[in-house]
Amino acid sequence: MLKAVILIGGPQKGTRFRPLSFEVPKPLFPVAGVPMIQHHIEACAQVPGMQEILLIGFYQPDEPLTRFLEAAQQEFNLPIRYLQEFVPLGTGGGLYHFRDQILAGGPEAFFVLNADVCSDFPLSAMLDAYRHQPHPFLLLGTTANRTQSLNYGCIVENPQTHEVLHYVEKPSTFVSDVINCGIYLFSPEALKPLRDVFQRNQQDGQLEDSSGLWPGAGTIRLEQDVFSALAGQGQIYVHLTDGIWSQIKSAGSALYASRLYLGQYQLTHPERLAKHAPGGPRIRGNVYIHPTAKVAPSAVLGPNVSIGEGVTVGEGVRLRESIVLHGAMLQEHTCVLHTIVGWGSTVGRWARVEGTPNDPNPNDPRAHMDSESLFKDGKLLPAITILGCRVRIPAEVLILNSIVLPHKELSRSFTNQIIL
């Protein structure tokens, strides 16, 4: 028997995802046509012996989240529950707080997946490695170049046994080109070190506050409090993958993740990819079109395009490297490149909306990483263009490398600006 836990964070996280996270919780943002965490759930549901999937986070269980969970349970025929933290508890605190729910039924092991990663999720391969050599902690790792490795948790492994000898989260100097993917397989014994951290936090807090239980005792950081502390003690091992992987911290990285997932659909979900057909739009590369979208036959789409529910794409539209969300309208002869068009937004005739790609590829030394600032010397750095919810772009204007907050009706062109 197996379980899976998906760590979805909370509204205090995902600030780099704004203004898109104003309208929908970040884990439900559509990436390659489906909510971000649906990719995780699909992968978990395919593992033989999977009995339950738990989501842990600090979001309020609002209507969109509840509706998504109900639909996912029906689609995958698997119990999927949301466990809400009373306060943000870090990457490990929720696991310890809800330990009884995780261990109920006596699972052999449980997967832990961060919601903000894109991957082909080699969970069956991780399970095989765990069963071959059981240990409390198994981490999924991949490689990065020397420059980009500084943006991630770095793993020094024994190349023969794959034991993690040293772990440093976002080091200031080069440590290793093996990085942490944020996807784990834990045995039930993995919760004991989390208990030790909790008790130590409680003792430290009581030294400062003699009134009783310290509220911060439950906050546990897996990376710093557990992995760094236990590395080299025979408890943590790494399973390396050469499959697709990236983080999804910002809107720009969501567009990059969409490209990776659309490419993966060639193998996993070819039915989700649009095909060129007589009388239909011209398709170039991997494109997802929701069945309810209306796309003019003279439109040219792709590569890396995702068109959401109820979208209207007019005659002569050129759309490339973009995500168009529910209910948006692209009027005749618009050109949209490297952009996310928000829910219910309208782009007028002959308008051009364009951004600059900033793919967070861990093997590209020139990549603009999500940990970096949006600004330099008081100026907005070139990045993808984001149109928030219900933005109206008039005809024949240019919007370049800009972020437009929701409910704005523009009257002129803008370049490298945040439009409040």
Taking phi over 0 as left and psi of -120 to 50 as alpha, with beta for the rest, 19 belongs to: alpha
Residues 6+ apart with CB under 8 A from 246: 117, 118, 253, 256, 257, 260, 360, 361, 362
Instruction: Give residue-wise pLDDT tens across range 367-411.
Output: 655 545 566 666 666 788 999 999 999 999 999 988 899 999 999
pLDDT band at 277 (very low <50, low <70, confident <90, very high): confident
Q: Residue 245 contacts by C-beta under 8 Å, 6 or more apart in sequence?
A: 117, 118, 119, 120, 142, 181, 362
Q: Which residues pair with 330 in a beta bridge?
A: 313, 347
264 belongs to a structural domain? no
Indicate whether 372 and 290 sit together in one domain: yes
pLDDT > 70 fraction of the chain, expressed in percent and rounded = 91
Same domain, 183 and 312: no
| Inside any domain, residue 126 | yes
Whole-angstrom Cα distance, residue 387 to residue 409?
11
pLDDT digits (tens, 9 = 90+) for 16-51: 677 887 778 899 999 999 999 999 999 999 999 999
Contact 330, 399 (CB under 8 A): no
Same domain, 143 and 197: yes
The average pLDDT across 267-287 equals 94
Statement: residue 192 has pLDDT above 50:
yes
Among 206, 231, 247, the domain boundary falls at 247
Closest CA to 285 of 276, 277, 293: 276
The pLDDT mean for the chain works out to 90
**Any domain includes 269:** no
In a domain, 255, yes or no: no
pLDDT digits (tens, 9 = 90+) for 307-350: 999 999 999 999 999 999 999 999 999 999 999 999 999 999 99
Checking if the pLDDT of 287 tops 90, the result is yes
In a shared domain, residues 197 and 328? no
Q: Are residues 125 and 196 in the same domain?
A: yes
User: Do 209 and 316 belong to one domain?
Assistant: no
Distances (CA, A) of 414 to 3, 355, 404: 49, 12, 10
Q: Are residues 10 and 74 in the same domain?
A: yes
Strands 392-393 and 346-347: parallel
pLDDT number for residue 57: 94
How many whole angstroms separate alpha carbon 269 and alpha carbon 310?
A: 21
CATH number for the domain harbouring residue 58: 3.90.550.10
Given the DSSP bridges, would you call strands 30-31 and 34-35 parallel, antiparallel or unpaired?
antiparallel
User: Which pLDDT belongs to residue 17?
Assistant: 75
> Is the pLDDT confidence value at 259 over 70?
yes
Note whether residue 260 is domain-resident: no
Are residues 308 and 292 in contact, defined by beta-carbon separation less than 8 angstroms?
Answer: no
| Residue where a domain stops, chosen among 212, 247, 282 | 247
The yes-or-no verdict on residue 14 having pLDDT over 60 is no
What is the C-alpha to C-alpha distance for residues 40 and 141, in angstroms, rounded to an integer?
17
Residue 10, pLDDT score = 87
Of the listed ranges 5-9, 145-149, 227-231, 313-317, the least confidently predicted one is 145-149
Domain around 39 = 2-247
Question: Does 137 fall in a domain?
Answer: yes
Q: For residue 266, is it within any domain?
A: no
- pLDDT at 62 (0 to 100): 85
Collect all residues with Cβ–Cβ distance below 8 Å to 262 and sequence separation of at least 6: 32, 273, 286, 287, 288, 304, 306
- DSSP conformation letters of 134-152: --SEEEEEEE--TTGGGGS
Question: In which residue are the tokens 């792709």 written?
Answer: 302
Residue 23 falls within a domain, yes or no? yes
38 and 153 inside one domain: yes
**Total tally of structural domains belonging to the chain:** 2
| Residue 114 confidence (pLDDT) | 97
Read off the pLDDT of residues 339-353 as tens digits, 9 standing for 90 and up. Answer: 999 999 999 999 999
35 and 147 inside one domain: yes
pLDDT score for 252: 84
CA distance 180 to 84: 26
Q: Of 129, 137, 141, nearest to 193 (Cα)?
A: 137
Q: Are 140 and 100 part of one and the same domain? A: yes
Confidence of residue 76 (pLDDT cuts 50, 70, 90): very high
Contacts 24+ apart (CB under 8 A), 401-406: 401/354, 401/355, 401/356, 403/19, 405/19, 406/19, 406/22, 406/23, 406/342
Same domain, 206 and 141: yes
Mean pLDDT of 253-258: 93
Whether pLDDT at 15 is above 80: no
Identify whether residues 120 and 206 lie together within a single domain: yes
The CATH number linked to 317 is 2.160.10.10
